[in-house]
C-alpha cells in the first residue's frame, strides 16, 4: 500500500468538495487515529492487522485532505503511553513505522512530485537507534517538499512536547540568548515541535472516545474538536467533510474569541529572530544528538554521521552569522 494515492474523487465527492471548499478551510488538521484494535476484533483479525489497515486509511485521508486543499495534517500514531502495551504490539508498531519509512525512501519521487513533506514530532530519546535512524532518513528525504506537510506524532504526548520546549527555553536563558523576563507564551510557541506549523484549526478523534489523550494540548487552544464514533480504519471521505462542516459552523465564534485573546496577548520578546533561530537550532541539534547515539550502523551509519556533521557545521555557521533586525511578525 502506497503512501501517495493516485485515486481521484468520485463525482458526488467532487461536487460536495466544490461546495465545501467555497467556505473557509482549516489550515492544519490533527487526527487522533483511534479504534484500530476494535476494528480488528470486529472482523476477527489480529490486532496488528487493524494497525496495518489503519495505515491504509491514513494514506486515503492524506489524499482526501489534499483534494480538499488542506495543506497540513498531524496524526497521533504512537503515544508515549502506548509503550505500556504488550511487547509484541509495541514491536509490531515499531516495525510498521520502519517498513513505512523504507517505503517513503522507495517512493521519494512520488513524494517530490506531490510536494509531500513528512516530519516526526515526539521524544526521539525513547526510541531505539534503529527506529530513530528510519525516522531521520524520512525527514531528510522529504524536507524540501513544500505543498503539503504531514506531521507524525510518534513517541509523543502534548505534555512531553511542552516539557522539551521549556527545557530548550531554559537552555536559551542559560546561554543568555534570552533574559528570564523575555519568556512568554510566544517564546514557548517557538520552542515546540510545531514551531514551523500553521495554527491547529481542527482536531478529529475517531472511535467515540471524547478526550484529547494528551494530543497537541498547547496547540489546540482555539481548535474546533470533532468527535466521531466511526473507527479509524472505517473513516470515509464523508466523515472528513462532516468534520470540515463542523469547523465552518463554529469558526465565526472561535474567530471572535481568538481576536479578544490576541488583543490581550503578551508581546513576544524583543529579539524575536534571534530567539527563533536559537530555539529551532536547539531542537534540530537535540534530534541529531539523539541520532548520534546510534551504534553499529554499518556503512549507512557512517553516511548518516557525515550528514550530521555537515548539518551541524551549517547550524553553527547560521547561528554565528545571525545579525538581522527582529522580525515584526510576532510583535
Name the site residues for ligand FPP (rule: CB under 6 A).
Answer: 33-38, 51, 54-55, 58, 77, 82, 96-97, 100, 152, 207
55 binds, among ligand FPP, Mg ion, none (CB under 5 to 8 A by kind): ligand FPP
36 binds, among Mg ion, ligand FPP, none (CB under 5 to 8 A by kind): ligand FPP
> Going edge to edge, which strands form the sheet with 224-227?
116-121, 148-156, 72-79, 28-32, 202-205, 224-227
Q: Which is nearer to Mg ion, 47 or 273 (CB)?
A: 47
Which secondary structure element, helix H or strand E, spans residue 226, and what is its range?
strand 224-227
- Backbone torsions φ then ψ of 292, nearest 5 degrees: -65, -25
Q: Least distance in Å: CB of 59 to ligand FPP?
A: 9
Q: Least distance in Å: CB of 209 to ligand FPP?
A: 7
Are residues 328 and 184 in contact, defined by beta-carbon separation less than 8 angstroms? no
Q: Least distance in Å: CB of 268 to ligand FPP?
A: 33
How far apart CA 93 and CA 171 sit, in angstroms, is: 33
Q: Which is nearer to Mg ion, 45 or 166 (CB)?
A: 45
Q: Least distance in Å: CB of 38 to Mg ion?
A: 8
Closest CA to 36 of 209, 225, 243: 209
Which residues does 93 contact at the CB level (< 8 Å), separation at least 6?
A: 51, 78, 82
172 binds, among Mg ion, ligand FPP, none (CB under 5 to 8 A by kind): none
Q: Which is nearer to ligand FPP, 56 or 306 (CB)?
A: 56
Q: Which residues here bind Mg ion, judged by CB under 5 A?
A: 34
How far apart CA 118 and CA 141 sit, in angstroms, is: 9
Q: Least distance in Å: CB of 310 to ligand FPP?
A: 28
How far apart CA 295 and CA 224 sit, in angstroms, is: 44
The residues with which 76 forms a beta bridge, in sequence order, are: 32, 153
Q: Which is nearer to Mg ion, 34 or 271 (CB)?
A: 34
228 binds, among ligand FPP, Mg ion, none (CB under 5 to 8 A by kind): none
Cβ-closest position to ligand FPP: 54
Q: Which is nearer to Mg ion, 239 or 283 (CB)?
A: 239
38 binds, among Mg ion, ligand FPP, none (CB under 5 to 8 A by kind): ligand FPP
Q: Least distance in Å: CB of 100 to ligand FPP?
A: 4
Q: Which is nearer to ligand FPP, 104 or 279 (CB)?
A: 104
**For residue 263, what are the CA distances in angstroms to 37, 251, 259, 273, 276?**
45, 18, 6, 22, 22
Amino acid at each position: 500500500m502506497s503512501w501517495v494515492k493516485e485515486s481521484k474523487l468520485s463525482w458526488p465527492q467532487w461536487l460536495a468538495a466544490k461546495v465545501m471548499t467555497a467556505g473557509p478551510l482549516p489550515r492544519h488538521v490533527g487526527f487522533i487515529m483511534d479504534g484500530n484494535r476494535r476494528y480488528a476484533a470486529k472482523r476477527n483479525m489480529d490486532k496488528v492487522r487493524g494497525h496495518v489497515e489503519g495505515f491504509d486509511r491514513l494514506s486515503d485521508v492524506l489524499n482526501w485532505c489534499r483534494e480538499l486543499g488542506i495543506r497540513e495534517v498531524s496524526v497521533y500514531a504512537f503515544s508515549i503511553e502506548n509503550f505500556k502495551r504488550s511487547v509484541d504490539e509495541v514491536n509490531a508498531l515499531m516495525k510498521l513505522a520502519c517498513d513505512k519509512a523504507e517505503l517513503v525512501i522507495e517512493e521519494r519521487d512520488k513524494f517530490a512530485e506531490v510536494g509531500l513533506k513528512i516530519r516526526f514530532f515526539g521524544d526521539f530519546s525513547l526510541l531505539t537507534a534503529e527506529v530513530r535512524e528510519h525516522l531521520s532518513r524520512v525527514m531528510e528525504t522529504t524536507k524540501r517538499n513544500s505543498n503539503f506537510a504531514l506531521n507524525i506524532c510518534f513517541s509523543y504526548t502534548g505534555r512531553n512536547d511542552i516539557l522539551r520546549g521549556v527545557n530548550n527555553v531554559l537552555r536559551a536563558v542559560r546561554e543568555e540568548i534570552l533574559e528570564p523576563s523575555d519568556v512568554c507564551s510566544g517564546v514557548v510557541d517557538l520552542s515546540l515541535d510545531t514551531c514551523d506549523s500553521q495554527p491547529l484549526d481542527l482536531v478529529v478523534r475517531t472511535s467515540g472516545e471524547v478526550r484529547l489523550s494528551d494530543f497537541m494540548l498547547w496547540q489546540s487552544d482555539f481548535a474546533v474538536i470533532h468527535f466521531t464514533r466511526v473507527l479509524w480504519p472505517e473513516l470515509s471521505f464523508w466523515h472528513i467533510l462532516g468534520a470540515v462542516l463542523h469547523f465552518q459552523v463554529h469558526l465565526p465564534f472561535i474567530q471572535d474569541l481568538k481576536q479578544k485573546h490576541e488583543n490581550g496577548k503578551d508581546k513576544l520578546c524583543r529579539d524575536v529572530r534571534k530567539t527563533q533561530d536559537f530555539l529551532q537550532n536547539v531542537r534540530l541539534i537535540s534530534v541529531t544528538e539523539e541520532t548520534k547515539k546510534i551504534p553499529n550502523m554499518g556503512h549507512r551509519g557512517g553516511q548518516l554521521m557525515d550528514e550530521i556533521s555537515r548539518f551541524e557545521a551549517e547550524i553553527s555557521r547560521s547561528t554565528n552569522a545571525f545579525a538581522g533586525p527582529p522580525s515584526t511578525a510576532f510583535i
